[in-house]
Amino acid sequence: VCSSWVLVAFCCLGQLYADQSMKPQIAAPQLATNNPSLTTVALEKPFCLFDSSLHPNKSYTIYLYAMKESASAMSSLVTDTGSKPLNSTFQQTSGGQLGPYKAASFPVPSCASPPRLVDVGDVSKVSGVLKQYLFRVGDDGTCLYDPNFLDVCNAPLTPDTTYRFKYVLIDSTEGVVKDQTLWSDPIKTRRVKLPLQIDAWPGRRSGDMIVITSILSVLVSLLLAAFLASVSSGLTRPEGPSAETKSVPQTPQQSDPRPQVSSE
């Protein structure tokens, strides 16, 4: 059974954007653990964010753009002069270093009929519900190396790097940008820990203690091996001449003469 905090998190999710001035938000820790990771960032999808820009009989799509914070502010636009969305790729922008790239496209999340909260109580459905609420940037490790890949490449992000993200509402019928959020606050991926910085279990031992413990373990093993070799050598050494055994002369026992019975 799913914990109650998951239900609370989903109940509050629809209210988050009301206080955030139209910015993509990093997923709450109750919904996505280890976030950000070394190469991914889980974001909340834009539920109820573009409702005022939607019109009947129109088809819409959400584009998600990513950009490294180190990219120049002049290159942060996601449209051309004709309000057309940029189709810049991960490869063309050096992973967001030169400007924003399209990391994903997906249907507009339905504010009127979000995923059912009752499904959270079913362990087999939790993963599907989370995928409807969240999007993980950097979750495709194969698109960079597949020459036949034609879709949007959601390539892994760079560790220890700060990114910004933006949601854009696209009128699929006209192929133009109808609305967009602000760029998100800076979100930094985790950095790779060096061996000396690893928080080893148990007792949160430092890297120096791990090295010292390893050295002592090796020394103990060598001493034990030397002791066993010494014992084995002592057991297989040839013994000296044994003491002479004294022979004790044995006198033959004389049998008692039996009287002969004469036959009459």
Domain boundaries, the chain: 37-188
Residue 86 to residue 175: CA distance in whole angstroms: 11
Cα 226 to chain centroid, rounded = 43
Encode burial over 156-166: b for 16+ CB neighbours within 10 A, e otherwise. bbbeebebbbb
pLDDT in tens, 74-99: 678 898 877 899 999 998 899 999 99
What pLDDT does 9 receive? Answer: 47
Phi, psi of 64 (to 5 degrees): -110, 120
Neighbours of 38 (CB within 10 A): 17
Task: Say what the pTM is.
Answer: 0.66
Pick from 90, 39, 55, 53: which is nearest to 168 by CA? Answer: 53
Using 50, 70 and 90 to split pLDDT, how confident is the model at 260? Answer: low
Residue 255 to residue 233: CA distance in whole angstroms: 55
What pLDDT does 149 receive? Answer: 77
Between residues 123 and 250, the one the model is more confident about: 123
Cα dihedral 48, 52, 58, 64 sign: negative
pLDDT (mean) for 189-203:
68
pLDDT at 206 over 70: no
What pLDDT does 208 receive? Answer: 59
Contact by Cβ (8 Å): 193, 76: no
pLDDT in tens, 37-81: 999 999 999 988 898 888 888 899 999 999 999 877 667 889 887
